[in-house]
């Protein structure tokens, strides 16, 4: 069992290990992973990581739960002196970043040791995690299956113990999908809670910066650093009892086409939470059926992605794009300004409906992903890829449209439970998710 951030922090403070030892262990694991054909990392900065670890150990104190802990960074963030390629070959000739992204700088300030850049779906525009340029990270529990995306390398790295936790992004599920598929915990905060400076955009209206870890406490620690830009107080056991909490569940839309294993795991989780004292409240949310129409021409993501990529796709490196990703981006060109503004208006209407229907809810629960991870061989055909990508993203993308927050907890090594809240309820959802995590572990 890989240790949590707090377990590693305690080991450092008690002198049972050192940052150098943790970093050397992580780098050795990455090396063995790569020698075995693994592609979780695009770039490893061993020299800088070890130098940072030595500096932290020399101070003989570990004030932050991240001090001396080896983490990874998704290849979407600027790291000073490195080229941000976003999992693409089209940006390899871009100049190195002049400074760290705000999120990266905050991790450094909290004492994190940055190991390198993790693989991903090109430009973060897929929930499956395939990458034809750098290879596709495979599921740690079944190498015939995908790890999910877009933060595929980040999840594989944490699941295999190559890093203690990972920095990633989530525009439609890019943290929560790989968390569910790889048996991890992933948190998508309210979008504007973490500054996006220095993070290559996919859809600025929907992009969120968050973390992948091994527990709710890992995500809580990382969120505190990323959101507040300060070293958090040491995490206390604040997991609430569930007796007074109303957990809402809808069986329309998010329960369509569920894999039987997913449906069974979700049903069992609800039963265990009910036995732990939670009140499970069934409700209807018919407005969710409008999402397919909202996204008919690629939705907000395609329109905003086209704005950023238009000149690059038409430039000399346009041929270097993954054709599947290029096709999805070009869908944004078909939207008129009026259609884009109409989509934004429909988004606001959906948010208003969610506020009404969830006004009494402490959280909204749903299966993180409707299906188990598909086999990589099943996604060779473009139509199969498109169908799988749509279904994988369906549940998670709702929270991005609502500009809410959500955390995915593992129910099995490949199935997740999402604990969702509306705009700004991040602290509440993190605390409640800790109670749900404890209840599921104890029943």
Whether the CB-CB separation of 130 and 149 falls below 8 Å is answered with yes
CA distances from 141 to 133, 163, 410 (A): 23, 17, 13
What's the CA gap between 244 and 59, in Å, rounded? 45
Does 163 participate in catalysis according to the annotation?
A: no
What's the CA gap between 72 and 273, in Å, rounded? 33
What are the backbone dihedrals phi and psi of residue 366, each rounded to the nearest 5 degrees, phi first?
-160, 160
What's the CA gap between 401 and 367, in Å, rounded? 17
Nearest to 419 by CA among 257, 220, 229, 236: 220
Q: How many residues does the chain have?
A: 443
Q: Parallel, antiparallel, or unpaired: how do β-strands 70-74 and 165-170 relate?
A: parallel
Does 150 participate in catalysis according to the annotation?
A: yes
* Beta-carbon contacts of residue 111 (< 8 Å; ≥ 6 apart): 56, 62, 63, 64, 66, 67, 68, 69, 231
N-terminal to C-terminal alpha carbon distance within the chain: 20
Whether the CB-CB separation of 19 and 66 falls below 8 Å is answered with no
Whether the CB-CB separation of 199 and 77 falls below 8 Å is answered with yes
3-state DSSP call for residue 49? helix
The catalytic position among 150, 163, 203, 418 is 150
Does 74 participate in catalysis according to the annotation?
A: yes
Segments in 111-253 forming alpha helices (H): 152-159, 176-181, 216-228
* Beta-carbon contacts of residue 36 (< 8 Å; ≥ 6 apart): none
Whether the CB-CB separation of 41 and 116 falls below 8 Å is answered with yes
Q: How many CB atoms lie within 10 A of CB 233?
A: 10
Looking at residue 172, the DSSP 8-state letter turns out to be S
The catalytic position among 121, 126, 163, 174 is 174
The catalytic residue positions are 74, 150, 174
């Amino acid at each position: 069992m890989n240790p949590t951030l707090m377990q590693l922090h305690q080991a450092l403070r008690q002198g049972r290990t050192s940052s150098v030892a943790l970093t050397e262990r992580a780098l050795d694991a990455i090396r063995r992973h790569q020698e075995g054909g693994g592609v979780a990392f695009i770039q490893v900065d061993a020299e800088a990581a070890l130098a940072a670890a030595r500096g932290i150990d020399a101070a003989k104190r570990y004030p932050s739960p991240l001090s001396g802990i080896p983490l990874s960074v998704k290849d979407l963030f600027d790291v000073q002196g490195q080229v941000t390629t976003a999992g693409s070959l089209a940006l390899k000739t871009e100049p190195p970043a002049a400074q760290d992204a705000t999120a990266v700088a905050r991790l450094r300030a909290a004492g994190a040791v940055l190991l390198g850049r993790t693989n991903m779906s090109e430009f973060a525009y897929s929930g499956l995690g395939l990458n034809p340029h750098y290879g596709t990270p495979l599921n740690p529990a079944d190498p015939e299956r995908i790890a999910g995306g877009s933060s595929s390398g980040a999840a594989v790295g944490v699941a295999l113990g190559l890093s203690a936790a990972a920095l990633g992004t989530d525009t439609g599920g890019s943290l929560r999908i790989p968390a569910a598929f790889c048996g991890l915990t992933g948190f998508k905060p309210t979008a504007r809670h973490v500054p996006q400076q220095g993070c290559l955009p996919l859809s600025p209206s929907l992009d969120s910066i968050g973390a992948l870890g091994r527990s709710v406490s890992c995500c809580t620690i990382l969120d505190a650093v990323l959101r507040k830009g300060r070293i958090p107080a040491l995490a206390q056991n604040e997991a609430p009892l569930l007796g007074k909490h109303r957990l809402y569940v809808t069986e329309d839309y998010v329960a369509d086409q569920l894999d039987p294993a997913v449906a069974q795991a979700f049903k069992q989780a609800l039963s265990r939470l009910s036995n732990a004292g939670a009140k499970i409240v069934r409700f209807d949310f018919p407005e969710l059926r409008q999402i397919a129409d909202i996204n008919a021409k690629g939705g907000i993501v395609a329109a905003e992605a086209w704005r950023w990529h238009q000149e690059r796709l038409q430039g000399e490196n346009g041929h270097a794009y993954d054709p599947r990703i290029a096709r999805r981006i070009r869908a944004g060109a078909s939207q008129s300004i009026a259609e884009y503004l109409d989509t934004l208006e429909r988004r606001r209407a959906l948010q208003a409906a969610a506020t009404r229907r969830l006004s009494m809810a402490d959280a909204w629960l749903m299966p993180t992903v409707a299906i188990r991870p598909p086999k990589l061989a099943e996604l060779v055909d473009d139509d199969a890829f498109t169908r799988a990508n749509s279904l994988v993203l369906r549940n998670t993308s709702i929270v991005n449209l609502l500009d809410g927050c959500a955390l995915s907890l593992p129910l099995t090594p490949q199935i997740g439970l999402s604990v969702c809240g509306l705009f700004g309820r991040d602290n509440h959802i993190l605390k409640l998710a800790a109670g749900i995590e404890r209840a599921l572990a104890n029943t």
